[in-house]
Structure 1
Amino acid sequence: MKMEFGESSAANPSQEIIWAKLVPSDSRYSEVELRLDEMVICSDVMSPSFDKQEWCKVTRNYDLCSATIQNKSSNTILVDEVAIPSEDSIVIKCGSEIIPGPKKEGYLSYRFEVMSPQESIKEQLKICLDVEHAKCSICLNIWHDVVTVAPCLHNFCNGCFSEWLRRSQDKHSNVLCPQCRAVVQFVGRNHFLHTIEETILQADPSLRRSDEEVAVLESLASIQSNLVLKTGKKLSRKRAHSSLNEESEELELPCPQCGAEYAGFLCNPNTVHLQCHACGGMMPSRNDIGVPQHCLGCDRAFCGAYWHTQRFGGSDSHPVCCHETFKPISGRTISRIPTLAHENNWHEQNITERCIRQMGKTLQDVISELLIRLNNREIDRTRMQLNHSEMITAGTYVCNECYDKLVSFLLYWFRVSMPKSFLPPDASKREDCWYGYACRTQQHNEEHARKRNHVCRPTRGSNM
């Protein structure tokens, strides 16, 4: 008998929330969704009658994180390599391997996965959206790299509003919303709506613009992070060069260079300001200097490097970030593996740390060597979880969070390029997880995280 695919015998399954799945090792076949506390699973088999046959019953246990599987077929089945005769039962946990036959060859295997409450809810959540509500009122197309203006909260394409902003600043004292004509005080990229924008275009590709139109929009786009165009708040403080007996006056001073000249620069009334993601302070948005103001990994603004070059150390009314929060990759040092490395799997982090010690090197030595390989384009950047990944070099300015992501990416390549014989004995004997680095079970199943190697590429569905 050869298993083709699994199917549930439950009636009206759409009325129940999915609490677990049987995930096939071959992605060409469907997952078996478990929606009831007790479900009998049927399968199509290669037989003269082509009838569907029962092969197991899965019953949810009271702990809500395990189940009992009963063999309902006439053959022996394998559960975690243990033979289960007909009508016998065994407890299965998240990550358990189930083969509906007496041997591995010729049968499609399944992995039992318990879904978290959040995942169960996500399976049921569907949002209906009228595409007319996802269009830019300037170009009348679906948003591209959507930005939101405040306080009116209308949304536009980044390129469309950037061009509107440039023209408004040339002709008017205030920037007005193109849709409702309210005075715009703030504009920033909206990452949540960007996800919706992508979902709409995937659902209806006919709404996509041509490559030429997208290229024009992206060439016009200038909004990388939060821009403060006009503050509604007045700060009571003295100008930096005023005499002590001069009375304080109500002034709109978003940043220190609005009230005083530093390093030869003084803001004018139309200067656009950036809000620092780390400290919340303001700095003028400038492209006339060689000092980066945005992290290339996340596009957020950070003020530490800018104010360091302006020789301004901060004040009570104007906070300034430490220079260490935003600096070149090559200027950073690291002594411990980031907690997010290897998908937060501390077993893999421990193995990597032992490998480094065994080589007689420090973590900093390894990262420095990998950065040279990165600069020489010797490392595939597909899995780098940073924006503009192709532009990242050792001289790139990044924030602390993006640096940890970069180090985690480099340590993945350190491990996958290492011969298995270089691993500690207990680590080299482990089999690769089918799902590799993408495995979700390693996040909540300690035994599975320890037992299988997850620093590898997913192989589920491959012809191996």
Structure 2
Amino acid sequence: MERPGEGEQLPQQQPWGRLLRLGAEEGEPHVLLRKREWTIGRRKGCDLSFPGNKLVSGDHCKIVVDEKSGQVSLEDTSTNGTVINKLKVVKKQTCPLQTGDVIYLVYRKNEPEHNVAYLYESLSEKQGLTRDSSEANKENVFHVTKDTSGAGQGDGPQVLPSSPATQGCFEEPQPSTSTSDLFPTASTSSVEPTSAGRGPPSSSDGEPHLKLPVLVADQCRDAQASLDVRAAATKPDKMEETLTCIICQDLLHDCVSLQPCMHTFCAACYSGWMERSTLCPTCRCPVERICKNHILNNLVEAYLLQHPDKGRSEEDVRSMAARNKITQDMLQPKVRRAFSDEEGSSEDLLELSDVDSEASDVSQPYIVCRQCPEYRRQAGQPLPCPGPGSEPGAPQAPSEAPSTSTSVTTAQDYVCALQGSHAICTCCFQPMPDRRAERERDPRIAPQQCAVCLQPFCHLYWGCARTGCLGCLAPFCELNLGDRCLDGVLSNNNYESDVLKNYLATRGLTWRNMLTESLVALQRGVFLLSDYRVTGNTVLCYCCGLRSFRELTYQYRQNIPASELPVAVTSRPDCYWGRNCRTQVKAHHAMKFNHICEQTRFKN
């Protein structure tokens, strides 16, 4: 913690308040508030600075005094808010301060040793308190003695953070402002009324502490209003919470995302973290890759355009740029950690995250599929697996899905090695044994990936369990593309697609018949595909198969003789842009021009 030197303050300025650190060691000096606006934060330029405490925001809050009325208030400028007497004040909110208020810059319910709290005392001239007298009588503002005539000066002060008299003032709905009736009858001790002649003495009698009852009366008068202000705290900015880095507790800056968990942090913050841990600070998942998150960076930039006051200082930006060691998408570097992943500040960072405690368990289990020994033992089933899709206790493939090839038998009796490699099906997101390398040596093993996009799919291995799956992986000639595969099949041109559907319907043909004829033409070299590797026997996923099917469908429609089509279709002029026309998705343009042709205008 850093405080500015006494020499920085003008000698004629008298302190109007002070902050006493709660839990401080004996002899630690208190903070005297001299300036009209006193800033608190992690930034070194703050009047009260905590440069080494990451739980404190760069500009956390400021305490301001109104020179005319003497009213003191705290305005929050932090990310997580400031707690005053167990009531949270969020960013942009202002809360009036009174003597005895406890200000928590950091409040950790389960880890009180991390709390940073101060007790506020008013030393304003209206109360007649000088710096020296406040040092000798700092507890006097927390209690009111029974005798208010001034004889109580010799009584020993009672160290009461919240005395019964003060509590009584907060319980009184409308406390009296008369000096003869300062204290409500709800107080636990009887209070003798003060005569009218015993008003507050003048400043010449040398007893400034006798004005303390007036302070308490002012507190009582404003107590209800203060509580109403604190209770009316608005909800925090949800967008700001979403765009907050859990490490620095500030808006994301040059953020990066971790794969595969996709949690996001400032590049500078994670640069320091990855030097000692290869696990994600939020979920403890092993990090495989680090990537720039351009979408979130754009969102932060747009948010700061609307809220420029929430941006980082230039000094903070330069510091983060110097600490940033992630300059491009890269694999998680192999680092030598100075301590265990479970030690040190990692637990503090985990506490700051919004994840559930169960999700932050450091003992992440490895993937277990239906053919793993662990899965069998947990389910109480014998290790040998039954046939694909008929395994007890496993979800069944839907009835509309094509059956897995019966020629594949090696998957039935396979048992995974302990902590063996697994692949996640792109369709149902369920794990399966990764036997793709083994298939290169033994073709009897069922294919587990698409030959074009190389994404893993489980349908041919044991039957995909996702509801509505039509067979996510199959040879091209066996793919089930569904009854709606002809909708917009010709460049999303519904008119041309309807012409083709009517042509097939009048001849009693289906899309399967058309696919079979097209594959024969492909084999003979009449039709061509953009991916020359694809044949009728190529194992494709649904998406890659549908894309190749659309290419063949266009060539099939192009080869239909004009005599077999309606006159209204063949009499249309060709569009200049042909099959590449971007306006053909509009019904009027599609009906007016033929788009089963090549582009003839502006063609490079």
What TM-score, normalized to structure 2?
Answer: 0.32
Q: Which has the higher contact order (CA 8 A, sep 6+)?
A: 1
What TM-score, normalized to structure 1?
Answer: 0.41
Structure number having the greater strand percentage: 1
